[in-house]
Amino acid sequence: MYYYEIAVFGTYTYNTFTYSYEEKLAPGQRVLIEFRNQQKLGVIISETNKKDYEVKEIELVIDEKPLLNKNHIELAKKTSKKFLMPLSEVAKLLFPPTSSDRIKIKIIPKSTLSNINKPIFLNEYYKHFKTKREANKVLKEMVKNNIVELSVHIVKPKKENNKIIILKKDFIEILNERLSASAMKVVNYILEKDENVYEEELYEKKIISRSSTVLKTLVKKGIVDLIEESKINEEPFIVELTEAQKEVKEKLLKKGSSVDLLYGVTGSGKTEIFFEVMEEYLNKNKKIMIILPEISLTPQSVTRVKKRFPDKNIGVYHSNINSIKRIKTWYDAVNGNIDIIIGTRSAIWIPLKDIGMIIIDEEHDQSLYQFDQLSYDAVEVAYLRSEIEEVKLILSSATPTLREMKKAYEKEINLLELKERVFTEMPDIEIIDMKKAEKISWIFTKKVLEEINKILKNNEKVLIFSPTKGYANYLICTNCGNVLKCENCDVSYTYHRYENKLKCHYCGSEKKVPNACPVCGNPELQLRGYGTERVVNELLKYFPNQKIIRMDREIIKTHEDLERAFEEIKKEGSAIIVGTKMITKGLDIEDIKLVVILDSDRYLNFPEYTSQEHTASLLIQVAGRSGRKEKGKVIIQTFKSENNFFEFIKEHNYDQVVEYELNNRKKFNYPPHSDLLMIIFSNSKPEIALKEAEDFYKKLKKEKLEAEIMEPTEPLIPKLRGQYRYQIIIKGKINHEKIYEIIRKHNKKMYLYLNPHTTLL
DNA sequence: AGCACGCCGACT
DNA sequence: GTCGGCGTGCTC
C-alpha cells in the first residue's frame, strides 16, 4: 500500500488528508475519494507514510498521468501561505473551474426492489427530491443494501469544431437560392462582418443552435465553405519599432533581472514591444502567458495577437468563455498545444507547458485582484510563478502600482520607461477651480460647457468621466472644499445618513456632524455624490439633439454590451461619451479630442488610504484617452485645486505622485511599506459575527505578533446580503507562517484579504 | 458544511 | 436511568 496526502477540493480546509492506494501515484494526479461520506475530487500533494489511524482508500484515479508538476504543487502551497487561502481551494484553482463537471456519477439499479428502473445520472436523480441532503440519505441506504450501485463516468472534453465559414457566392446568387430564414440569418451575419466568421461564434451569438443543420445545408448547396483555421496562411502583421521602443526591447531581452516593469505612457506602443519580445521566446519554443484586465480582453485585442502570430496556436481563457471550451483550452495548454495563452486573472493558474514568459498588461488594474470568498492578487501569483518556474515576468502600465514603483526604485526589479507617445504629444491638462469658476449648475462650469460645444461643432468627440453613484458619501465645505478626516487614520470620514454621524471605518471612531466647517466656519456643508445618469440628463438640457452614449455597469452588463458600445463610439461624427471607470480601458478612439473629469474630489476623498494612488492612476488613464492621434485636451474640475496632487497630474508627472504618496504612506506605515491584512467575519446574527471576530482577535493578541492588530470594528458596509459583518485589520510586518498556523488551528470560516486595493467591502 | 460526540437537564 | 438539545470540534 502507498499513502498520499490529498488536498480535497471544495472542503475549504488548510489541511491535507491521507488516503491509501495499492499502486504508485504521483503528485498532481487527481483522484476521487470518499470524504465525510461524500464523493469528492482531490489532488495528490505528496506521498507519505503509513498512519497510526485508519485511512480510506482512493476510490478512483481520475488522471492517468499527473497534469501538474512539482512546480505547480509548490505554487499552490506558496500561494496558500501567502494569501492565507485554504490549500484545498488553491489546488482547485490550478484546474479548470468546472473540472468536477467532467465527473458524472451514474446510479445503476441492481435489484427490483429499487424504484429506479434504469441507470440514471446523479444530477437527474437529485431532481426527484426536495433537498440534496435527503436524496443522499436515501441513496446511501440503497447502496448499503445493495439495491443500487454507483459508477463513475469521466466526460472527455469534446473536440472543438471551430471552422471558419467562407461565402462562396455573392449576394445576388444567394438570393436566387431558396433559403430558410435561419440560413439567411447566417448569410447576413457573414456579409455584415468584415472579419472571419467562426462556427463557434454563430452558436455563441445564438444565430443558430448547436444542433442546427443550417451549416450543413449551406455547404451542400455550395454557398459556404468550412475551412480549418490553420489552413489560412497569412503574413504576420509587423509594425516597425521606433528607436525608443527598440531600446526597451533590447533591455527586455537582456539576461539578468527576471522581473521587468515597463512604465510607459498611454499610446507609447507597449504592445508592439511585447510582440517583438514574444517572438524571441516563441523561437526558442517557449510558451507565453498574457494576462489582461477583464475589460481589456476584447476580441479586438485577441485578433491583434492572432494577426501578429498567424501560425501560432493561441488560446483565450476568461470567465465569459463557456466551460467546455475552457476545459479544452486548459488541456491544450497543459499538453503543449498552445503557444500563447491570453486570459484574465484566473488564467494565471494555468499549468502552461514550457512556459517561458508571463506578461501582465495594465498591472495597476484592480481586476487583477480577486476580491471574493477566496482572494489573491494575480500579480503576486505571477511573481511566485516566475520564481518557482524561472519564468520571465513583465509587468506593464502607464501608472504602475506604488508597490511595483517602490520595488523599481529600490532596484528589486528592472525599470524600463517610455515617456513619449508614438504618434503625438501628450494632451494639455487644465484644472478648473470649482470654488472660483462660474458654474452653470453644480455639475458643470461655464468653461467646460463652452469647450464641449466647440468640440461638438467641429464634429469630434468628447469623453466625460464621472464617478458612479453609490456609497462613500462625504461632506464637503462649499466654501473651502475641506473634507473631514480622521486624525488617527488619515482617512476621510464617511457620512452615515441613518445615524447622521461621521464614521471612520478604519478605527471605528465616530463624530457628530459639525454645524459648520471646522476650517473656515462656513455653515454650508454639502453631501456629495452624483452619477452618470444625472450627468446625461444635465447634458441633454444644453445639447438636446446630441448623440450621448452612456457607459457604466448599469448599462453595460456583458462583453457584448461593451462591444456594441465601442462600435457605436467608433462611428464617425460628434458624440458625447459619459462613463465611469469603465471607460479608462480599451477605448482607442482617434477623434476623442476632449476629456472632461467631473467631481475628481469624490475619488480623492474616498475613505481609503489608497485613494490618492487610485485617483492619480484613474485621472492619468482617463486623460490618456484624449487625442491618441492628434494632440487633445483634458479638463479637470475640482474643489481642491490647491492640492499639489493636481500640479503633478497637470504635468503628467506620475513619478511625483508616487514619491509624494510613498512618503505619505510611510508616516502611517501603510503598504507598500508594510502589509495589511483584512479579516472579515460574517453571520446572519450580528452578535455571532462580533463574537467570532472577538475570539479570533484574542487568539491573535496572545500570539505576540509584530504587526499592529486593530480591534474588531464594523466595516463600511456592516450588513451585506443579509449577513452582518465585523472586521479585524492587521498592519505591519505580517508573519505568514505564524498566522497561517493560527488560522489552520482555529478552523473557523473567515474571509482574508492581503493588501486589498480597497477595504470598503 | 454536516455530523458525531459529550455534557447536562428534564422526564419516565 | 434514559432521552434529546445543543455547543464544540473534526473530517484521513
Residue A160 has pLDDT above 70, yes or no: no
User: Greater confidence, A573 or A151?
Assistant: A573
Check if the beta carbon of residue A25 is closer than 8 Å to that of residue A4.
Answer: yes
What average pLDDT does the structure give for chain A?
87
Q: Round to a whole number and report the distance in Å from the CA of A131 to the C1' of B12.
A: 36
> What is the rounded CA–CA span in Å between residue A574 and residue A424?
21
Q: Round to a whole number and report the distance in Å from the CA of A723 to the C1' of B10.
A: 35
Helical spans, DSSP H, in A284-347: 299-308, 323-334
Model confidence band, residue A529 (pLDDT cutoffs 50, 70, 90): low
pTM of the model: 0.83
Predicted pLDDT of residue A472:
47
Q: What is the pLDDT of residues A282-333, one digit of tens each?
A: 999 999 999 999 877 777 889 899 999 999 999 999 988 877 788 889 999 9
Q: What is the pLDDT of residues A57-88, one digit of tens each?
A: 998 888 889 999 999 999 999 999 999 999 99
* SS3 of A370-425: EECCCEEEHHHHHHHHHHHHCCEEEEEECCCCHHHHHHHHCCCCEEEEECCCCCCC
Model confidence band, residue A738 (pLDDT cutoffs 50, 70, 90): very high
Q: Round to a whole number and report the distance in Å from the CA of A318 to the C1' of B3.
A: 38
Sorted by where each begins, the domain ranges of chain A are 2-154, 163-231, 243-418, 428-471+530-664, 473-522, 675-754
DSSP string, A683-719: ESSHHHHHHHHHHHHHHHHHTT-SSEEPPPB--SSSE
Q: Round to a whole number and report the distance in Å from the CA of A699 to the C1' of B7.
A: 25
Determine the average pLDDT of the residues in A579-594: 80
Q: Round to a whole number and report the distance in Å from the CA of A506 to the C1' of B1.
A: 32
Protein-proximal positions, strand C, CB < 7 A: 9-12
Q: Round to a whole number and report the distance in Å from the CA of A65 to the C1' of B4.
A: 37
User: In CATH, what is the architecture of A428-471+530-664?
Assistant: 3-Layer(aba) Sandwich (3.40)
Strand C neighbours among A 478-517, CB < 7 A: none
User: In CATH, what is the architecture of A243-418?
Assistant: 3-Layer(aba) Sandwich (3.40)
Protein fold of A2-154: GIY-YIG endonuclease (3.40.1440)
Q: What is the pLDDT of residues A364-406, one digit of tens each?
A: 999 999 998 899 999 999 999 999 999 999 999 999 999 999 9
Q: Round to a whole number and report the distance in Å from the CA of A739 to the C1' of C4.
A: 39
Which of these, A698, A692, A713, A723, lies nearest to A759 by C-alpha position?
A: A713
Check if the beta carbon of residue A585 is closer than 8 Å to that of residue A293.
Answer: yes
Residue A446, CB, strand C, below 7 Å:
no
Protein-proximal positions, strand B, CB < 7 A: 1-3
Residue A48, CB, strand C, below 7 Å:
no
Nucleotide nearest to A17 (CA to C1'): C12
Cis amide leading into A712 (omega within 30):
no
Q: What is the DSSP letter of A439?
A: B
Residue A231 has pLDDT above 60, yes or no: no
| The amino acid at A579 | G
C-alpha cell at A408: 523599481
Percent of chain A with pLDDT over 90: 47
Determine the average pLDDT of the residues in A697-715: 89
CA end-to-end span of chain A: 49
Nucleotide nearest to A12 (CA to C1'): B1
Cβ burial of A660 (10 Å; 0-12, 13-18, 19+) is middle
Check if the beta carbon of residue A338 is closer than 8 Å to that of residue A329.
Answer: yes
Q: What is the pLDDT of residues A272-295, one digit of tens each?
A: 999 999 999 999 999 999 999 987
Determine the average pLDDT of the residues in A143-160: 66
Residue A55, CB, strand C, below 7 Å:
yes
Cβ burial of A250 (10 Å; 0-12, 13-18, 19+) is exposed
Residue A322, CB, strand C, below 7 Å:
no
Q: Round to a whole number and report the distance in Å from the CA of A688 to the C1' of B11.
A: 32
Q: How many CB atoms lie within 10 A of CB A702?
A: 9
Determine the average pLDDT of the residues in A653-680: 95
Q: Round to a whole number and report the distance in Å from the CA of A37 to the C1' of C10.
A: 14
Low-confidence winner among A100-114, A152-166, A619-633 (lowest mean pLDDT): A152-166
Predicted pLDDT of residue A648:
94
Name the one residue in this structure whose C-alpha cell is 494612488.
Answer: A613
| CATH class (in words) of the domain with range A675-754 | alpha beta
Same CATH fold assignment for domains A243-418 and A428-471+530-664? yes
Residue A696, CB, strand C, below 7 Å:
no
Q: Round to a whole number and report the distance in Å from the CA of A13 to the C1' of B8.
A: 32
Q: What is the DSSP letter of A156?
A: P
Residue A200 has pLDDT above 80, yes or no: no
Residue A100 has pLDDT above 60, yes or no: no
C-alpha cell at A648: 503633478
Q: What is the dihedral of CA A638, A643, A648, A651, to 10 degrees?
A: 60
Residue A487 has pLDDT above 50, yes or no: yes
> What is the rounded CA–CA span in Å between residue A602 and residue A594?
21
Q: How many CB atoms lie within 10 A of CB A704?
A: 7
Query: Strand, coil or helix: what is A499?
Result: coil
Residue A19, CB, strand C, below 7 Å:
yes
Residue A56, CB, strand C, below 7 Å:
yes
> What is the rounded CA–CA span in Å between residue A38 and residue A280?
49
Mutual angle of helices A736-746 and A686-702, in 10-degree steps = 130
